[in-house]
Amino acid sequence: MDVVSALERSYEQTAKLVTNLDTTHLDAPSPCAGWDVRATLNHLLGATWMFTLVNQGRPAGEDAGDILGDDPSLAVAAAAKENMASWRQPEAFEGDRAYPFGTVPAAFAAMLNLEEVVVHSWDVAKATDTDLTVDDDIAQLVYRWATSIPLDEFRAHGAFGPEVAVPASAPTISRLVGLFGRQP
């Protein structure tokens, strides 16, 4: 499976997840230390817009503030639509991309974008006790990528917590979120 197809399917699942949320869910604590569901979704949307803007050759800041607004479904749909369009451009996977966190190859950025969608959607589902389908082929794609990069460097900068031990027999999504410091 290619990253663009995986990203599109992940956004579809995220949209279904967010559609099922109500305003009381937004204040629920998330698996991301110090964040509630609103903050987690704002982070996800901020990252989505960051990848989109950089792909469009525009500057992207680090903190977009509260971009979730009063209609989370609309905010997710708008961000996903623009993000997908930016990854479908002919030059989307050429060269390097400069982000506030550093410069990385475009292919790495695409996988990081996918990881953000998958893991933070899982965070929201876990926090709200809401069903989320993460296709195993997508979870495997992100898991293989995540185990091939120096995650401890990201941990050192506070991007996520220490790895949580998860049995090798567990579903791929559980092993993936464990890599990123979540208790499945």
Tens of pLDDT, residues 44-83: 999 999 999 999 999 887 667 789 999 999 999 999 999 9
Q: What is the pLDDT of residue 62?
A: 66
* pLDDT tens figures, 150-161: 888 877 777 788
Question: What's at 5, amino acid-wise?
Answer: S
Q: Are 144 and 155 in contact (CB under 8 A)?
A: no
Q: Are 147 and 113 in contact (CB under 8 A)?
A: no
Architecture per CATH, domain 3-179, reads as: Up-down Bundle (1.20)
Question: What's at 90, amino acid-wise?
Answer: P
Torsion, Cα 75 138 90 86, to 10 degrees, reads: 10
Q: What is the pLDDT of residue 161?
A: 84
Segments in the chain below pLDDT 70: 62-63
CA–CA dist 118, 136 (Å, integer):
11
Q: What is the pTM of this model?
A: 0.95
Work out whether the CA dihedral 73, 77, 79, 80 comes out positive or negative.
Answer: positive
Domain ranges of the chain: 3-179
